[in-house]
Amino acid sequence: MPATPNERMQGTLDLLVLRALHAGPAHGWSIADRIQVVSRDILSIGQGSLYPALHRLEARDWVTAEWGVADTGRRARFYRLTPQGRRQLEVERASWTAFVEAVRRVLQYA
């Protein structure tokens, strides 16, 4: 059964977070910043969406978290991909690619 729009949005956020963490461990603000910078300010992830996603990914054992000190000197939780998270990133990437291709075909249909 295809994903609902809400599941698709949640899955897209999971994919973006997993991809941002592929670059290396990061705290929440840094993850959101990576996504915003790489998307050239098109995608902006708010804390109200980011932290539930991080907790969801942590509960699925796709990321782990540990306390550390950010560049600002403040304590922060740093998130890192697990081996399962790396595998899931590839699953999510393949799913997203198939979804984008399906949308492209529909948009080109005339």
Residue 4 belongs to what H/E stretch?
Answer: none
**Cα-based angle 26, 72, 52 (whole degrees, multiple of 5):** 40
Question: What is the CATH T-level fold of the domain 5-105, as seen in this structure?
Answer: Arc Repressor Mutant, subunit A (1.10.10)
Alpha carbons 54 and 65: distance in angstroms, whole number: 9
**Cα-based angle 6, 94, 52 (whole degrees, multiple of 5):** 40
Asked if 54 contacts 17 with a C-beta cutoff of 8 angstroms, the reply is yes
Tell me what pLDDT residue 11 has: 77
Tell me what pLDDT residue 3 has: 56
For residue 2, give the DSSP letter: P
pLDDT tens digits, 1-60: 555 544 455 578 999 999 999 999 999 999 999 999 999 999 999 999 999 999 999 999
Asked if 33 contacts 14 with a C-beta cutoff of 8 angstroms, the reply is no
pLDDT tens digits, 62-109: 999 999 998 889 999 999 999 999 999 999 999 899 989 999 999 998
Domain boundaries, the chain: 5-105
Could you tell me the pTM of the whole model? 0.86
